[in-house]
A = this chain, B = another copy of it.
């Protein structure tokens, strides 16, 4: 494939990422096991679940979201009893945010449901295709990250 043709196919990747993001977003808000669990909050809770407590700036960087947006999302999550601030031993001024028991349980329920759906979709896909997809998306993200700095 020529470089130009491959660029065309990457345009096709981006043309899929937008609708996919928006539909998945709507599905998350529709299926949420907790009233008020938005897609932004889900992203934050998922990260806390995978990697443990983190500061607002750390969450913002990893999720490509502004610090202000993450802070608002954390406030919403705290009001729902899903996250709470705890003292940060490394940095007195920037609290660590962690999942509450309720937040952990809500995420376990959501992730369990999502995996059941993805197990079903995955039946039609080959392992190689899925790995290739992860490689391509990670590469595109790294490139956009580099452009932004």
| B-binding residues in A (CB < 8 A) | 1, 3-4, 6-24, 26-27, 39, 43, 46, 62-65, 111, 114-115, 117-125, 127-141, 143-145, 147-148
Q: Which residues of B contact A125 (CB under 8 A)?
A: 6, 10, 135-136, 139
Q: Which residues of B contact A123 (CB under 8 A)?
A: 3
A21 touches B17 (CB 8 A): yes
Q: How far is the CB of A139 from chain B (nearest CB, A)?
A: 6
14 contacts between A and B (CB under 8 A): A3-B123, A4-B119, A6-B122, A7-B119, A9-B130, A10-B122, A15-B46, A17-B17, A23-B141, A23-B148, A27-B144, A132-B132, A132-B136, A133-B133
